[in-house]
Amino acid sequence: MSAGSGNGADIDTQATAWAVRSAERPLDSAEQRQLDAWLEADSRHLGAYVRAQALWLDIDRIAALDGGTQRDVPVPVRERPWRRYAMAASVALAAFGGTVAYDHLAGRVSTERGEVRRIALEDGSILTLNGNSAVQVRYEDDIRRIILRRGEASFEVAHNTQRPFVVNAEGLDVRAVGTEFVVGIENGGVEVTVEEGVVAVGGKASGAAQPRYIRRNEQFVAAATGPRKAVLDAADVERRIAWRKGLLVFNGQQLGAAAAEVNRYSDLRVVIEDPTLARAEFMGVFKLGDAQAFAGAAAQAFNGEVIRRGDELVLVRQQNSPSH
C-alpha cells in the first residue's frame, strides 16, 4: 500500500462516510468492492476507518455529554439515517479538528466565532461553515434540504437530478444540482455567489415569480432595497471565498467593512470610530483571527496608531496626520 494521495481531513471524511454506511445496513457487493479498494489504496485509510467506526460506536455517549449544552429544545422525531450520519460526521470533525456544536435531534450544525468547519453529508456533498454560522440539515428521500439559520456556508453539491439540493435562507430558495456556491446572511439580506455550475434562485425574497438562474462568477443579492444580480471576475470570487482556506483578502474594500469581517473571527475586536477612516479603501491578506496584524497594517497604511482598550484594538489617526 502506498502513502497515497489526499489530505488527512479528506481521508477522515471518507472514512466517516464508509463507517456510517456500513453501520446502517450491510453493504452490497459493489459497495464492498469499493470499500476494499479504498482501504487498499492508501496506508492511512484503514486507520481512519477504524477510528471512524470507534467514534460511531461511541456516538451516543458523546451526544449525551453534549446534550446539556444545546440551547434549542427540538420536538422528538423519528430518527432517520441522515440524522445519525450528520452526527457521526460532525463528531468525527470534532475529534480531528476542533469543536462543532450539533443538535442531533434537530439536524442543526453550528460554529463559534473564528471556526471554519468542513462537513461531509450523507450524499457525498460537502458543507463548509464559516465562523458564527448555523444550518439545519433536512434530507428526505426526494429532496436534500439545508436551512441556513445564520452566517455563511459553502456547498459542493453531489450530482443527483432525481433528488434536488435546495438551500433555504431568509425567504430565498437556492436550488442546485452538481455545483459549488456560497450562501450568506448579512444585515437581513442574503447573498448567493456561484463558483461553479448554475443555481436557480426563487422564493419570496427573489422578487420574481419565476426562478432566476445564477451562473459561474455571478452573484445574486436579496436585500431590503430589492434584489440585484452582479457579474464578478474570477479574482473577486476567490477573494470572497478565501475564508475556506483560512484567509481574508481585501482589495479595495472600505476599512470599516474589512474590520467587521476581521472581527467575525477574533474575540479581540478592531474598532474604527473615525467615519472618514472607516471609508478609506484598504488592501491586504491576513490569516483568519489575526486582528493584531490587520490593525497594525491598517495603522501603517493610514498613518495611524493602535490603542489597546480591553478586548478592543482602537485604530485612530495620529494627531496632525493628513486626511485620506
Percent of the chain with pLDDT over 90: 44
pLDDT tens-digit map of 79-132: 334 344 444 444 444 433 344 444 444 578 888 888 899 888 888 899 999 988
Chain position carrying cell 423519528? 78
User: Which of these three, 234, 257, 286, is where a domain ends?
Assistant: 234
CA distances for 32 relative to 21, 50, 80, 232, angstroms: 11, 16, 23, 44
Pairwise pLDDT comparison (320 vs 292), residue with the higher score? 292
CA distances for 130 relative to 41, 59, 185, 235, 246, angstroms: 32, 25, 11, 20, 10
User: Which of these three, 201, 234, 267, is where a domain ends?
Assistant: 234
Q: Domain tally for the chain?
A: 2
Q: What is the pLDDT of residue 60?
A: 41
Write the CATH number for 197: 2.60.120.1440
User: Which of these three, 193, 213, 234, is where a domain ends?
Assistant: 234
Q: What is the mean pLDDT of the chain?
A: 79
Residue range(s) defining the domain that contains residue 279: 246-317
Domain annotation covers residue 27: no
Cα-based torsion angle of the residue sequence 207, 145, 65, 17 in order, rounded to the nearest 10 degrees: -140
155, 128: one domain: yes
Domain annotation covers residue 3: no
Domain annotation covers residue 301: yes
Three cell numbers written together for 91: 463528531
Residues paired with residue 227 on neighbouring β-strands, in sequence order: 222
With H, G, I as helix, E, B as strand and everything else as coil, classify residue 215. strand
261, 160: one domain: no
69, 175: one domain: yes
212, 77: one domain: yes
278 has a pLDDT exceeding 80: yes
Write the CATH number for 289: 3.55.50.30
144, 115: one domain: yes
Q: What is the DSSP string of 254-267?
A: EHHHHHHHHHTT-S
207, 297: one domain: no
184, 271: one domain: no
Domain annotation covers residue 16: no
CA-based radius of gyration for the chain = 22
With H, G, I as helix, E, B as strand and everything else as coil, classify residue 203. coil
Q: What is the pLDDT of residue 226?
A: 87
126, 216: one domain: yes
215, 259: one domain: no
Given a contact cutoff of 8 angstroms between Cβ atoms, the answer to whether 16 and 88 are in contact is yes
303, 177: one domain: no
Domain annotation covers residue 35: no
Q: What is the pLDDT of residue 100?
A: 45
Domain annotation covers residue 2: no
Could you tell me which residues come within 8 angstroms of residue 60 by beta carbon, excluding any fewer than 6 positions away?
A: none
